Amino acid sequence: MTDRPSRLRKFAYLGSIAVFLFTVFFSQRHLNHQREVLGLTRNIPLENAPPILAFTTKALGGFRGLIANALWIRATELQENGKYFEMVQLADWITKLEPKLTAVWVHLAWNMAYNISVKFNDPADRWLWVKRGTELLRDEALKYNPREPNIYRELAWFYQHKMGHYLDDAHQLYKVEWAKEMTALLGKGDFNFDRLISPQTPEEIERARKLREQYKLDPAFMKRVDERYGPLEWRLPESHAIYWATYGLEMTKDQKLRQEEFIGLRRVIFQSLQLAFMRGRLVYPDKSGNEFVYGPNLHVIDEADKAYLEMANLEADKRDNILNAHKNYLGMVVYHLYTHNRRQAAQQWFNRLKEMYPGANTIAGKPVENLEDYALSRIAEDVGETDPNRVKTIIMGTLENAFLQFALGDSEADIVAENHVNFARRLWQRYMTEISRYEKNIVRVGLPPFNQLYEETLKGVLSPEYGLDAILSAQLRTRLNLPADYGVSTNEPPAEATAPSATTPAGPATR
């Protein structure tokens, strides 16, 4: 009597199991997919790992955390005692034990690039550590975590801030070294992306291989970035910041729950575009390439503008902050264009500023309607500025104006031009005096000699790319006693090029 209900119950159980398994079969796949899409999975299998790493992570199981902790403690102790020679190896082991923990990668890379590098007095030693930190993220962290926005953000930040900014005493060396490496790969000036996307010659094949394998740069994606935001100067670090931030967004865009983390990537893009606008043009003053000066990259104004607005639309909760930054950016565009003698464009951007942000044309509490007054007010504000990029841009813009006045060839314009040169020199002296109060500032944020800025600006104005009318160019050369071919080659200083000495009271010394 008892057998039958028992058997029925067993069948019912089996039937339930079958139904549940059948349901799970369909729902599990969907759930797994959703977990991946929403970025909820933390224990996804390690991909691209070499056998030793795959073995270590499996074989040690939970104990690897303990070993990683012990290594971490050792690394900290060594660092406190000023012993850095083991740091790269310890970082390698720690990250191999915990390859999926983003914070570990980010911390160790930051430690090398920011904390350890500054402990060395020799800039060449520092550069090694900045490179090590960058390589740890770019070559290792992204290999195992290709969908982690924070790693892309950190990498882009290293390019934008550590190499691109000027807070580190050795920043100039970082830029020079990076420019050398990129020049070896991409050449000087405009370079052809298509030749690296589909290389033909052995030399192009080798360069494309190095670009992909050593620097992890995809030429096709570089081209997309350049078309979207450029033309960019790829020898400067901020272009690479834009690349990695854009690439990070591309690689992680389908993780809907991680939208908050994308804002960091987007910020890098528009901040780097702003930097590229202010000093995104590279001019080599000598053949060695050991030093260079920058000029503003006025080509990226439109793209930076679009980027700001795009970011503002995408980040609804940060919209006000981004638009505020955009307002400041437009103000900067107006006066940089003005100081670079692009008055028509400056007027257009000034109108846009007033239109988009009524009241933004207020300086010191008073509305300024006239472009000229607005630009001059901004310049007056900037005289007290301590950002070397901004001050250098103003000096070179003022000198550019001066040369255009000289080119007119009449006495009245001569007076205006001399005033411009005097103003630029005063600005340079004031800035250098200001920063010289602390000796270390001279190396860190010092400007190139005034003569050098003068010469570079003059060469820029006379270069064919600038497009100065042939007659005006000739008048300018005559006015400044320059040879007929002066400024034709923008990358080589002519032997007889002369510039006013710092002690000359006014105007070019060659007159």
Partner 1 sequence: MRRILAIASLTLRAAFRYRVVLVMALLLVAGVIVLPLIIKDDGTARGFTQIILTYTLALTTTLLGFATLWLSCGILAREIEEAQMQMVVVKPIARWQIWIGKWLGIVALNAMLILLAGAAIYTIMQVRARNLTAKEQTILQNEVLVARKVAMEDTPDYEQISRDLIRERLQHEAPPEGLSIPALQTIIREQLKSRDQLVQPNQRRIWTIQVGPPSEVRDKPMTIRVRFDPPVPDLGERFMTFWEFGDLATKTQFETNFVMPSEAFVEFPIPPNLINDKGELHIRFDNRNEKALLFPEDGMQVMYRIGGFGGNFARGLGIVFCWLALLAALGLAGATFLSFPVAAFCTIGVLILSMSTGTLKQIIEENGIVAVDPNTGRVEETKVVNTLAVPVARGLLNTFNLARGFSPIDNLSSGRAITWTDLSQAFFQICILLSGGLAAIGIAIFTRRELATATK
DSSP codes joined into one string, 9-58: HHHHHHHHHHHHHHHHHHHHHHHHHHHHHTT--S-PPP-S--HHHHHHHH
Binding mask 389-428 for partner 1 (x = CB under 8 A): ----------------------------------------
* Binding-residue pattern over the window 341 to 380 for partner 1, x denoting contact by CB under 8 A: ----------------------------------------
Quick check: 439 binds partner 1 (CB under 8 A)? yes
Pairing of strands 362-363, 293-295: unpaired
Q: Which of 71, 87, 241, 301 contacts partner 1 by CB under 8 A?
A: 87
Using CB under 8 A as the binding rule, whether residue 120 contacts partner 1 is answered as: yes
Total residues in contact with partner 1, by rule CB under 8 A: 26
Which of the stretches 28-36, 141-149, 208-216, 435-443 binds partner 1 when contact is defined by CB under 8 A? 435-443
**What is the closest distance, in whole angstroms, from the C-beta atom of residue 9 to partner 1 in the complex?**
53
Cα–Cα separations (whole angstroms), residue 162 to 47, 101, 204, 254 = 30, 23, 30, 29
Interaction between residue 437 and partner 1 (CB under 8 A): no
Contact indicator for 38, 257 with CB cutoff of 8 Å: yes
The verdict on 438 binding partner 1 (CB under 8 A) reads yes
- In the shown chain, the binding pattern of residues 124 to 163 toward partner 1, with x for contact by CB under 8 A and - for none, equals -x--xx-xx-------------------------------
- The SS3 of residue 493 is coil
Decide whether 128 or 474 has the Cβ nearer to partner 1: 128
**4 Cβ neighbours under 8 A, 6+ residues apart:** none
Nearer to partner 1, 83 or 212 (CB): 83
Between CA 210 and CA 192 the distance in angstroms is 16
**Binders of partner 1 in range 54-83 (CB under 8 A):** 80-83
Cβ proximity to partner 1, 83 vs 209, nearer residue: 83
Which is closer to partner 1, CB of 121 or CB of 288? Answer: 121
CB atoms within 10 A of CB 492: 13
Beta bridge partners of 308: none
Please answer whether residues 32 and 45 qualify as being in contact, where contact means their C-beta atoms are separated by less than 8 angstroms.
no
Helices (H), 40-148: 51-60, 63-80, 87-97, 102-110, 123-135, 142-144
Contact (Cβ atoms closer than 8 angstroms) between residue 189 and residue 298: no
Q: Does 440 bind partner 1 (CB under 8 A)?
A: yes
Residue 92 interacts with partner 1 (CB under 8 A)? yes
To the nearest whole angstrom, how small is the minimum distance from the Cβ of residue 239 to partner 1? 25
Q: What is the DSSP letter of 495?
A: T
Peptide bond just before 231 cis, omega within 30 deg: yes
CA-based torsion, 207, 212, 213, 215: positive or negative: positive
Q: Would residue 394 be called left, alpha or beta, if left means φ above 0 and alpha means ψ between -120 and 50 degrees?
A: alpha
- Which of these segments, 179-187, 207-215, 247-255, 438-446, binds partner 1 (CB under 8 A)? 438-446
Stretch that binds partner 1, among 117-125, 302-310, 319-327, 390-398 (CB under 8 A): 117-125
Does residue number 84 form part of the binding site for partner 1 (CB under 8 A)? yes
Q: Which one, 87 or 208, has the nearer CB to partner 1? A: 87
Residue span binding partner 1 (CB under 8 A) among the ranges 113-121, 147-155, 272-280, 488-496: 113-121
Spatial neighbors of 181 by CB under 8 A, at least 6 apart, are none
Q: How far is the CB of 107 from partner 1 (least distance, A)?
A: 12
User: Which residues lie across from 25 on neighbouring strands?
Assistant: none
328 is a contact residue toward partner 1 (CB under 8 A): no
Tell the smallest beta-carbon distance from residue 148 to partner 1 (Å): 22
Residue 41 CA to residue 81 CA, distance in Å, equals 39
Q: Pick from 2, 121, 200, 433: which binds partner 1 (CB under 8 A)?
A: 121
Binding of residue 119 to partner 1 (CB under 8 A): yes
Nearest to 248 by CA among 226, 275, 271, 221: 221
- Which residues are near partner 1 by CB under 8 A? 80-89, 92, 114-115, 118-121, 125, 128-129, 131-132, 169, 438-440
